């Protein structure tokens, strides 16, 4: 496994994508940066992270050998790998806010941005980008953000955390290779934030509505029980889970 360590880069996801298209990269090549000048989040958002305090890294995963029908499985195993890694550091009350924010005590400690490499209309590889808040203790204008240090009072060694996350990611990807799809989906659902609880959502037109989170579909849609007792599936592009 190759780990490329950089001091500063625009975005580890963008760097790894460029590297994979220009030079080709070995499976599981990982790029970690102390600082990202243009860290990217989901849905075109910005990912800010205090330089050298947190982990910002991306992993190149060749998925051609995995026989997965839905790219969402990559998101699922990445979330589960982070949960396992964080449990090993005794991080309390972990959950996965659909589709793949990792929360502790209802605050976000990790964001995941998965970008797919598609060739001839089939999924060839995924670039798994992870931003894990570790030793940063102030999040200005982000009241719902937290870090491992805030939660435990301890300072963490970034390399150690990185290796543990990568170890769990490899293990979960192996399960995916062994076709343990149902087991993985069940496990993902046990960590689903606000499952069976009343939640509030916003659609793309700004309409706010409520419902109960029931499950996720194999393609990663969120299944919500609405007021009229109907379960409706929503794509990530269509709704935001507010709380
Ligand atoms: C989100 O929650 O919106 C996803 C955030 C993902 C951030 C990580 S940091 C490493 C990698 N490089 C990026 O530009 N983004 C991801």
For the residues of 127-159, what is the DSSP string, one character each?
EEEEEE--S----TT-TTB--HHHHHS----HH
Cis preceding linkage at 91, omega within 30: no
* C-alpha 40 – ligand 1 centre gap (Å): 5
Same-domain check for residues 181 and 134: yes
Residue matched to tokens 């499952």: 195
| Cβ atoms 60, 74 nearer than 8 A | no
* C-alpha 120 – ligand 1 centre gap (Å): 26
pLDDT tens digit sequence for 84-135: 999 999 999 999 999 999 999 999 999 999 999 988 888 899 999 999 999 9
Ligand 1 pocket (Cβ < 6 Å) reads 11-13, 36, 39-42, 45, 47, 56-58, 101, 111-113, 129-131
Burial (Cβ within 10 Å: 0-12, 13-18, ≥19) of residue 224: buried
What are the tokens at 211? 């419902």
- Domain containing residue 207: CATH number: 2.30.30.100
Q: How many domains does the chain have?
A: 2
Nearest Cα residue to atom 11 of ligand 1: 129
Same-domain check for residues 166 and 230: no
Same-domain check for residues 128 and 169: yes
| Domain stop point among 148, 165, 190 | 190
Domain that holds residue 27: 3-190
What are the tokens at 109? 């400690």
pLDDT higher than 90, residue 227:
no
Alpha-helical segments (H) within 42-130: 72-87
Same-domain check for residues 219 and 177: no
Same-domain check for residues 171 and 202: no
* C-alpha 129 – ligand 1 centre gap (Å): 5
* C-alpha 45 – ligand 1 centre gap (Å): 9
Which pLDDT belongs to residue 179?
A: 85
| Cβ atoms 60, 25 nearer than 8 A | yes
Burial (Cβ within 10 Å: 0-12, 13-18, ≥19) of residue 239: buried
- Domain containing residue 118: CATH number: 3.30.930.10
3-state secondary structure of 22: helix
Nearest Cα residue to atom 16 of ligand 1: 129
Which pLDDT belongs to residue 119?
A: 86
Same-domain check for residues 224 and 166: no
What are the tokens at 106? 């209802």
* C-alpha 130 – ligand 1 centre gap (Å): 5
Taking the C-alpha atoms of residue 183 and residue 188, their distance in angstroms, rounded to an integer, is 9
Which pLDDT belongs to residue 69?
A: 84
Same-domain check for residues 211 and 166: no
| Cβ atoms 58, 125 nearer than 8 A | no
ipTM over 0.95: yes
């Amino acid at each position: 496994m190759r780990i490329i360590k950089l001091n500063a880069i625009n975005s580890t996801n963008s760097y790894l994508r460029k590297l994979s298209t220009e030079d080709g990269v070995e499976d599981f090549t990982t790029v970690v940066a102390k600082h990202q000048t243009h860290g990217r989040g989901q849905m075109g958002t910005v990912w800010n992270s205090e330089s050298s305090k947190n982990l910002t890294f991306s992993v190149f995963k060749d998925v051609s050998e995995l026989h997965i029908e839905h790219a969402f499985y990559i998101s699922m195993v990445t979330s589960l790998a982070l949960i396992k890694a964080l449990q090993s550091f005794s991080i309390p009350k972990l959950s996965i806010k659909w589709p793949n924010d990792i929360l502790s005590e209802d605050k976000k400690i990790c964001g995941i941005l998965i970008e797919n490499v598609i060739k001839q209309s089939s999924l060839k590889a995924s670039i798994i980008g992870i931003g894990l808040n570790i030793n940063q203790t102030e999040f200005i204008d982000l009241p719902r953000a937290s870090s491992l240090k805030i939660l435990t009072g301890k300072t963490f060694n970034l390399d150690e955390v990185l290796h543990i996350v990568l170890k769990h990611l490899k293990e979960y990807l192996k399960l995916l290779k062994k076709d343990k799809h149902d087991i993985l989906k069940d496990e993902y659902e046990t960590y689903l934030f606000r499952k069976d609880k009343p939640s509030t959502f916003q659609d793309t037109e700004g309409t706010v509505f409520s419902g109960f989170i029931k499950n996720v579909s194999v393609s990663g849609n969120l299944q919500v029980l609405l007021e009229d007792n109907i379960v409706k599936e929503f794509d990530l592009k269509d709704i935001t889970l507010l709380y």
